[in-house]
Structure formats: C-alpha cells, structure tokens
Structure 1
C-alpha cells in the first residue's frame, strides 16, 4: 500500500513534466526557451502549439490517473506511447543532430518512461 503512494506521486510528477510544455500552446514564443527551436513560420508554430496541447492533455490524464483508477491504464498507455514515439523519432533523426535542449527533453523522457513503468507495475 505504501508503494502506491510513491507510484501516485510518480504519475503526478510525470504528468507535470508533460504539462510544462503546454506553455508553448499559450505562448508560442516560449518554444525557444523550452526546445531551443526558433519558429520559422506560422505552420511550425501551429504544429508546435498543437504538440504542446496534446502533451498537456496527456499530463492531465496522468494526474487524474494517479487518483482515479479507471483512468489510470489509459493515461499510462498514452504517456508511454507519447514518450516512446518521441524517443524513437529522435533516434531516427539522429540524436547527435539534435540541439542540447531537445536532447535534454529526450533524456527526461527516458527517466520518466522508467518511472512510468515502475508506477505501472506498482498498480498491477
């Protein structure tokens, strides 16, 4: 039972990690600070803002899932797909081709994915 609290805390923390990029959805100029990426045109702005919004939704789902059991499995699966797909795409592009901030995002995803897996196992 005690480990459930740790698993819940981990889901909340991973949820917050997903919500933070949501700032870009409301303030696209912050993309430079978050990702180290300049917005070249309105199309890129739209794509980044949409990505930020989807990440925030995954984060909200994780936080809800930490406390609402029926939401938990779907939230964990969505987060796992989100982080795994980002890492797979980063590897496809070439990790060395990414700027420092994007590499940091990838490493945060690696750590968060491990914590997510541990949390998922705690609830089994």
Structure 2
C-alpha cells in the first residue's frame, strides 16, 4: 500500500500530468485507502478504495506516453532522409548540363530547360519542408501525406511507362527507399498518436 501511494505521488508530480483533476482524485482515493488499511476515523463508507485501480491506470498511461515518445525520433529520421532525397534534384537548377547528369537526357530545347530547372526548385522546396517538418510535430502529418503523393506518383508513372534509362532507374530505387522510410515514419506517427 505504501508503495502504491509513493508511486502515485511520484507520477502526479511529473510536468505532463493534468494536475488539477488527478491530484483531487488521487488525494480522495489515497485518504480512503489509508483509513481503510491503517485505521482511523472519518472514512467515507460509500467511497471505495480507488488506489489499486488508479495506480494501474497511471502505470498504463505512463507506459503509453513512453512508447509514444520513443516513436518520435523514428518520424524525425524518416522525414529527414526523405527530405535529403528530395533535395538532391535541386542541383538541376544549375543548368542543362547538370540535368543531363541527373536524368541521362539531353536538354537542348530552351523551354524544356526552363521547365526542368523550375521542377528542381519545386523539389528543393518540398525537400526543405520535409526537413523542417521532421522537427515540427504539428507539420508531420502533412509532410507524410505530401511524401506519399510525391514518391508514390513517381513510382506509379515509372511502372506504367517502359524504357526508362539507367539514371531514372537509380531515381526509382531511391524513391523505393523513400517509400519504405515513409511507411516506417507513418506507422510510427500513428503509433505515437494512439498511445499518447
């Protein structure tokens, strides 16, 4: 009994606890338990001994918090790596020669060069957002959805169109790796939401 009371005092002292409601409930239950088990006057006969059940619930809640917290680094790592993968095409903004090195295609038409260089800028913005969201939990859901759309659409198009060159095949492999990271990060995100 003394151990249960000590554990309750320790847990309710933690900064992330909803202090007002839980302190009141634990204090009422603790007083009744002490009076029941150790004697004393003034125990409410209609008030049950709440300590064992409440202690179990507190332990389960605390463990859930620990599990949820342990998932967050995985989300951060996944989004950071996906962000780095999306930042690599940013080098294409340097010009047609760099685009040829990235994708193995010769870009001689000026309009196509403009479009491809602008595409590189968009990839840079998306990659920067992933890296930012890795450290901003409130943005991680949006980042994961954006990542699935970006990576999934490229993989689908690559599967639908035959005849890609060696450079695009490397991009395909990189996006498969990014998809695996997003799946792991998404699973960790859902787990952290369900356990907190």
**Please, what TM-score do these two structures have when normalized by structure 2?**
0.58
| Runs of 4+, deviation exceeding 3 Å | none
Q: Hey, what does 1:116 align to over in structure 2? A: 182
User: What is the Cα deviation at residue 86 of structure 1?
Assistant: 0.9
Structure 1: 5+ residue stretches without partners: none
Structure 2: unaligned runs, 5 residues or longer: 1-68, 191-196
Q: Structure 1 length normalisation: TM-score?
A: 0.89
Deviations 1:22-81 (CA, angstroms, capped at 9, x unpaired): 111234421122111211211211221122111111111111111111221111111211
Higher relative contact order (Cα pairs below 8 Å, separated by 6+ residues): 1
Q: CA deviation at 1:104?
A: 0.7
Secondary structure class of the residue paired with 1:123? helix
**2:111 and 2:105 mapped to 1: Cα distance?**
14
Aligned residues: CA RMSD: 1.4
Q: Hey, what's the Cα distance between the residues in 2 that align with 1:57 and 1:79? A: 12
Aligned length, in residue pairs: 122
Aligned to 2:139: 71
Written as runs of structure 1 = structure 2, the 5 A alignment for 1:88-107 is: 88-94=156-162, 97-107=163-173
Shift of 1:3: 3.5
